Structure 1
Amino acid sequence: MLTGKQKRYLRSEAHNLQPIFQVGKGGVNENMTNQIADALETRELMKVQILQNCDWDRDEVAKALSEGTGAEIVQVIGKVIILYKESKEQKRIQLP
């Protein structure tokens, strides 16, 4: 579980990132969560964008991605979700 100070730090780090994955009409599936988990192992911090044609609520998408990948939800703002998962092999981000 991330503290408020850690979330603030991660939000500032994620500010300049572009969304890598997009959740569309199909919602969240196992293939997508596997790909996001692999990307999180490499990057640790990433943005996921929810498209307008997505049938799922943004909080449902965030919860499904968090549970499927084992990542922490840093922030859900508008149609963008910021996820963080500490890398086992390529740790780059030092949390305060």
Structure 2
Amino acid sequence: MKLTTSQVRYLRSLAHSLKPVVMVGANGITEGLLDELSNALATHELIKVKVRAEEREERDEIIELLCRKSGAQNIQRVGHVLTLFKRNSDKPKINLPK
């Protein structure tokens, strides 16, 4: 699902007050982390993820891998915090503007 600019702005405004619910630590991306990420996206649709990687290139690789494995879209990245969105196909929780 391709999001419009206004939809991305709307999602960023919703995510402003959110705290990270998933944290990528020293162990990197594990199956347990991917399961937790999938559960959080299914429950909330819009989440923040904290990536603890010092090098920018490493963070970029982790972010790309998280998006690919989860099927979520990268809404915003500020430093080590990433905002992801994945529409729940059964019961959408967030009503996006047109």
SS at match of 2:50: strand
Q: Which runs of 5+ in 2 are unaligned?
A: none
CA distance in 2, matches of 1:4, 1:61: 24
Change (3 A) 1:39 1:54: farther
Q: Which runs of 5+ in 1 are unaligned?
A: none
Give, in angstroms, the shift of residue 88 of structure 1.
2.1
User: Aligned AA for 1:24?
Assistant: G
* Alignment pair present for 1:43 and 2:40: no
Instruction: After superposing the two structures, state which structure 1 stretch, 34-43 or 51-60, moved more.
Output: 51-60
Q: Contact (CA 8 Å) 2:45, 2:86: kept in 1 or not? A: yes
User: Aligned AA for 1:92?
Assistant: K
SS at match of 2:20: coil
Which residue does 2:95 correspond to in 1? 94
CA distance in 2, matches of 1:35, 1:43: 12
- Taking every aligned residue pair, what percent have the same amino acid on both sides? 39
Given the two structures, how large is their TM-score scaled by the length of structure 2? 0.86
CA distance in 2, matches of 1:34, 1:15: 24
User: Aligned AA for 1:85?
Assistant: K
Q: Which aligned segments of 4 or more residues in structure 1 are displaced greater than 6 angstroms?
A: 53-56
CA distance in 2, matches of 1:64, 1:29: 11
